[in-house]
């Protein structure tokens, strides 16, 4: 690949709902530009971007893919992202590394839930974008219906720059509304059919009317009836698109390579170079000041790692976008997040799974390097003399959790080293150890997300694991004060055992923890045996009398007892303390406690009633509701036991339009009918 200046580079992310044809569009772009010699297909698993075995098997993208190619004197780096909601972390990483977006919409399915979701991501990132209406050759394809859905649900600034010629099986080309020329197949110029001329003139008038508003002189000439030249229209379209006032809409078929050249032209012509997006690249210096990093190859280095891949053979591969300056092979850079130097080996530009070595990369370039020791996704690599911390990546919350269990003891040993590598590859995954249930909990965006983690651990690292619903960390407590006595006496003919304790048990307020106090008077128990009593109590509190869950919110007071000068021992008093607590818990009207979670659920207005109804069936309490940008934010509390699959339930109720955040609030007594079932299940499990 040739060398390019920053203003000749375009970094573009492909976004869409699952199945709209992003990967096919990316493949057609590579083939049309000559970057690949053979056109691959999703159906037979031969595309450049979906090279992972799991992606080939499922016929869907599961991670982003970097696809650079050349077109008309420009270097275009296209980032193909997954369309399935569980892999939203990859989408957000791709958006962070790009200056613009191409949103793909299926002409048959129209605007879907995923389309709206990625559109919102692009809006928040303030990315200029194009829309490509794909699959115009499909059965049920309808351009006008799809265009109406785009304008009503994504915004009226979406205006067609092309009209299709034919539809479904008869689709064969398009009309360019600026030049008013027709193009058939892979860009063969043809005459516009008279039947389409009036419709084309109407849409052209709308387009011109919208773009001249960007320039006072143009709008004055337009209102005076003066003809606006095509070059002036192109220039105004570029300016309007970069400023986000216009979203040009294109048509075509990726599988038949119709309209691909015009999309490549549009990326070069209408979407901004890195230099034109520099003002949006806010950074924070190490001394706390705010500023911007200008996309200039001569400026100090500032680059962001947006993707990390873990490979058992080649090691860790870090993909990065350079925002300013230049990076060289076999050099050193400063990791501003870790405050450490990193050695850069051979730089390369990825094309799917292929790697093209390069000596240097400049502002605007996207490249990769292997075997960085400390760097992880979201880190800034820069010059030590000019340290900056670029804004990181806002990954989606990991709200769906499963317990991960090793298949064998060997898998258990490997799991502790493999899981951190998998999480480094995908920061939207979280792993924690739940001490109360002694489980390793892995959390992701959804069930498919975690299933791919399981597959990846097996395929890449040979670790077999199972995913199971996590156990709920219930607790036990008492509801009334009680006194318990236990005398441990054992005589076997020789040296015996004797320990005698009296304990007072009293409930504490919720969140009070567990307290042990001694109030021995008159030397009833020698001071050297008191720690043994406490040790026995602390061991017994880990397993309550109802269902074997830890005991909390109880104060235990050692108030009396007796000893034997010969037979008393530490072990005897430890046993006595444990058994006395057990008796006291049984007599204190024990109850189960369950974790209650705070919920903040953002849902469309139309789904609000259904979501509240569902929360009521989950023993939830709605605390309030507030409107927010066309949605409602519901605040509620609900038991954790009812929320184990809430990510899936909410997606089903809202057709994927809802999202939520959840955190721990407090423990609360379990209702009697639920408590009986939990106790019965626990007993059955132990047996």
Judgement on whether residues 480 and 460 belong to the same structural domain of the protein: no
Stronger pLDDT, 302 or 310, i.e. the higher one: 302
Say how far apart CA 496 and CA 608 lie, in whole Å. Answer: 69
* Range with the poorest average pLDDT among 160-164, 261-265, 401-405, 420-424: 420-424
Q: Which of 279-283, 482-486, 651-655 shows the lowest per-residue confidence on average (mean pLDDT)?
A: 279-283
- Give ∠ CA 332-335-338 in degrees, rounded to 5: 140
413 and 454 together in one domain: yes
Residue 537: inside a domain, yes or no? yes
Could you tell me if residue 33 is inside a domain?
yes
The span from the first CA to the last CA of the chain, in angstroms, equals: 67
Query: What pLDDT shows up at residue 353?
Result: 87
Q: Identify whether 1 is part of a domain.
A: no
Q: Looking at the structure, tell me whether residues 493 and 521 fall in a common domain.
A: yes
**Any residues with CB less than 8 A from the CB of 624 and at least 6 apart, and which?**
634, 635
pLDDT number for residue 597: 95
- How many residues comprise the chain? 687
540-560: burial string, b at 16+ Cβ within 10 Å, e else: bbebbbbbebbbbbbbbbbbb
CB burial readout 396-424, b (16+ within 10 A) else e = bbbbbbbbbebeeeebeebbeebbebbbb
Residue 359 confidence (pLDDT)? 94
> Residue 107: is its pLDDT beyond 90?
yes
Q: Can you tell me the distance from the alpha carbon of 14 to that of 260, in angstroms, rounded to the nearest whole number?
A: 14
Least confident among 261-270, 375-384, 623-632:
623-632
Of 99-113, 185-199, 393-407, 468-482, which gets the smallest average pLDDT? 185-199
Q: What is the pLDDT of residue 284?
A: 53
For residue 33, give the CATH number of its domain: 3.40.50.300
Give the global pTM. 0.87
Residues 372, 444: one domain? no
Determine the pLDDT at residue 496: 82
Looking from the CA of 533 toward its CB, the CA atoms found within 13 Å total 34
Lowest mean pLDDT of 261-265, 291-295, 304-308, 612-616, name the range: 291-295
Task: Give the residue from 588, 606, 628 where a domain finishes.
Answer: 588
Q: How confident is the model at residue 285 (pLDDT cuts 50, 70, 90)?
A: low
Q: What is the pLDDT of residues 325-381, one digit of tens each?
A: 999 999 999 999 999 999 999 999 999 889 999 999 999 999 999 999 899 999 999
For residues 71 and 14, membership in a common domain is answered with yes
Do the domain assignments include residue 546?
yes
Mean pLDDT (whole number) for 463-467: 93
Residue 644: the pLDDT is 92
Across-strand partners of 180? none
Residue 511 and residue 375 share a domain: no
Together in a domain, 175 and 140: yes
**C-alpha span between 251 and 509 (Å, rounded):** 65
Residues 628 and 561 in one domain: no
Compute CA 207 distance to the chain's CA centroid, rounded to the nearest angstrom.
Answer: 37
Q: What are the backbone dihedrals phi and psi of residue 593, each rounded to the nearest 5 degrees, phi first?
A: -115, 145
190 plus 122 within the same structural domain:
yes
Pick from 362, 390, 418: which residue ends a domain?
390
Q: Is 406 helix (H, G, I), strand (E, B) or coil?
A: strand
Mean pLDDT within 166-177: 92
Mean pLDDT across 87-93:
94
The structural domain count of the chain equals: 5
The answer to whether residue 630 is domain-embedded is: yes
Q: Answer whether residue 420 shows pLDDT above 60.
A: yes
What pLDDT sits at residue 521?
77
- What pLDDT does residue 282 have? 44
Select the more confidently predicted residue: 173 or 298. Answer: 173
CA pseudo-torsion sign 286, 291, 292, 293? negative
Q: Report the CATH number at residue 518.
A: 3.30.230.10
Q: pLDDT band for position 545 (50/70/90)?
A: very high
Same domain? 273 vs 285: no
Is residue 48 situated within a structural domain? yes
Is 418 found in the same domain as 328?
Answer: no
| CATH number reported for the structural domain that contains residue 453 in this entry | 3.30.70.870
Query: Regarding beta strands 74-80 and 9-16, do their DSSP bridges make them parallel or antiparallel, or are they unpaired?
Result: parallel
Confidence of residue 117 (pLDDT cuts 50, 70, 90): very high
Q: Which long-range contacts (CB under 8 A, 24 or more apart) does 56-65 make?
A: 60/18, 60/19, 60/84, 61/22, 61/23, 61/87, 61/90, 62/87, 62/90, 62/452, 63/87, 63/90, 63/307, 63/309, 64/90, 64/91, 64/93, 64/94, 64/307, 65/26, 65/350, 65/352
Is 395 contained in some domain? no
What is the DSSP secondary-structure string of 551-596?
A: B-SEEEEEEEEE--TTTB-HHHHHHHHHHHHHHHHHHT-EEEEEEE
User: Across residues 99-106, what is the average pLDDT?
Assistant: 96
Answer with the one of 468, 500, 528 that is the final residue of a domain. 468
- Asked whether the beta carbons of 10 and 76 are under 8 A apart, the reply is yes
Instruction: Tell me the C-alpha distance between 642 and 649, whole Å.
Output: 11
Query: What is the predicted pLDDT for the residue at 586?
Result: 94
Give residue 290's pLDDT band: very low, low, confident or very high (50, 70, 90): low
Whether 439 has a pLDDT exceeding 70, the answer reads yes
Q: Are residues 226 and 258 in the same domain?
A: yes
Q: How far apart are CA 188 and CA 485, in angstroms?
A: 96
pLDDT at 279 over 70: no
Tell which wins on pLDDT, 150 or 288.
150
Q: 95 with 88: CB under 8 angstroms?
A: no
Weakest mean pLDDT among 292-306, 453-467, 546-560, 633-647 = 292-306
Estimate to the nearest angstrom the gap between the alpha carbon of 400 and the chain centroid: 11
197-245 per-position pLDDT tens digit:
999 999 999 999 999 988 888 989 888 888 889 999 999 999 999 999 9
Give the residue-averaged pLDDT of 141-165: 95
Q: Measure the CA angle with vertex 446, ends 135 and 53; round to 5°.
A: 60
Across 81-123, where does the E strand assignment appear? 100-106
pLDDT at 43 over 70: yes
Structural domain for 87, as ranges: 6-277
Banded pLDDT at 288 (limits 50, 70, 90):
very low
Average pLDDT over residues 128-143: 95
> Is 299 domain-assigned?
yes
pLDDT tens per residue, range 502-535? 999 999 999 999 999 988 877 788 888 999 999 9
pLDDT over 90 (residue 410): no
Residue 272 is predicted with a pLDDT of: 94
- Cβ–Cβ under 8 Å, residues 408 and 464: yes
């Amino acid at each position: 690949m040739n060398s390019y200046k920053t203003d000749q580079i375009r970094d573009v992310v492909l976004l869409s709902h699952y199945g709209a044809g992003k990967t096919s569009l990316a493949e057609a772009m590579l083939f049309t530009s000559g970057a690949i010699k053979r056109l691959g297909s999703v159906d037979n698993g031969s595309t450049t971007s979906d090279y992972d075995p799991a992606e080939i098997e499922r016929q869907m993208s599961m991670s982003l893919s970097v696809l650079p190619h050349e077109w008309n004197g420009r270097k275009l780096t296209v980032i193909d992202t997954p369309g399935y909601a569980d892999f939203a972390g990859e989408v957000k990483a791709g958006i962070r590394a790009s200056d613009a977006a191409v949103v793909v919409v299926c002409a048959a399915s129209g605007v879907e839930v995923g389309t709206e979701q990625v559109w919102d991501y692009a809006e928040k990132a303030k990315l200029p974008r194009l829309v490509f209406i794909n699959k115009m050759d499909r059965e049920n394809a309808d351009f006008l219906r799809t265009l109406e859905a785009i304008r009503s649900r994504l915004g009226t600034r979406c205006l067609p720059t092309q009209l299709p010629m034919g539809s479904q099986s008869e689709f064969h080309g398009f009309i360019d509304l600026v030049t008013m020329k027709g193009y058939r197949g892979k860009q063969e110029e043809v005459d516009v059919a008279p039947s389409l001329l009036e419709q084309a003139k109407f849409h052209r008038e709308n387009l011109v009317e919208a773009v001249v508003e960007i320039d006072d002189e143009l709008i004055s000439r337009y209102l005076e009836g003066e003809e606006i030249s095509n070059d002036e229209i192109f220039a105004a379209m570029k300016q309007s698109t970069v400023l986000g006032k216009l979203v040009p809409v294109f048509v075509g078929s990726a599988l038949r390579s119709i309209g691909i050249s015009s999309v490549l032209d549009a990326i070069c012509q209408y979407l901004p170079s890195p230099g034109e997006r520099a003002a949006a690249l806010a950074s924070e210096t190490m001394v706390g000041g705010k500023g911007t990093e200008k996309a200039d190859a001569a400026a100090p280095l500032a680059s962001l790692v947006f993707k990390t891949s873990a490979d058992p053979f080649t090691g860790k591969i870090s993909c990065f976008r350079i925002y300013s300056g230049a990076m060289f092979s076999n050099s050193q850079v400063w990791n501003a997040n870790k405050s450490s130097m990193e050695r850069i080996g051979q730089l390369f530009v990825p094309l799917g799974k292929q790697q093209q070595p390069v000596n240097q990369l400049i502002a605007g370039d996207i490249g990769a390097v292997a075997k960085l020791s400390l760097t992880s996704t979201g880190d800034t690599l820069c010059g030590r003399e000019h340290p900056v911390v670029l804004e990181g990546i806002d990954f989606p919350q990991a709200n769906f959790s499963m317990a991960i269990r090793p298949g064998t003891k060997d898998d258990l040993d490997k799991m502790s080293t493999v899981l951190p590598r998998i999480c480094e590859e995908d920061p939207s995954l979280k792993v924690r150890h739940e001490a109360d249930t002694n489980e390793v909990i892995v959390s992701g965006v959804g069930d498919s997300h975690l299933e791919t983690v399981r597959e990846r651990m097996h395929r890449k690292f040979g670790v077999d694991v199972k995913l199971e619903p996590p156990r709920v960390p219930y607790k036990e407590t008492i509801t009334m004060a009680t006194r318990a006595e236990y005398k441990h006496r054992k005589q076997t003919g020789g040296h015996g055992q004797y320990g005698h304790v009296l304990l007072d048990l009293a409930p504490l307020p919720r969140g009070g923890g567990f307290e042990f106090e001694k109030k021995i008077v008159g030397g009833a128990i020698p001071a050297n045996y008191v720690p043994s009593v406490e040790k026995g109590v602390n061991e017994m509190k880990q397993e309550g009398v109802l269902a074997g869950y830890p005991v909390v919110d109880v104060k235990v007071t050692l108030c009396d007892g007796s000893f034997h000068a010969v037979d008393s021992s530490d072990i005897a008093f430890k046993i006595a303390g444990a058994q006395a607590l057990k008796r006291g818990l049984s007599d204190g009207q024990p109850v189960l406690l369950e974790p209650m979670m705070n919920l903040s659920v953002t849902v469309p207005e139309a789904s609000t009633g259904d979501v509240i109804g569902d929360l009521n069936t989950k023993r939830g309490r709605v605390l309030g509701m507030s409107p927010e940008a066309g949605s409602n934010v519901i605040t509620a509390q609900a038991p954790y036991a009812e929320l184990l699959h809430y990510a899936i339930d909410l997606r089903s109720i809202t057709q994927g339009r809802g999202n939520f955040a959840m955190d721990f609030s407090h423990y609360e007594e379990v209702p009697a009918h639920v408590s009986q079932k939990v106790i019965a299940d626990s007993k059955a499990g132990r047996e």
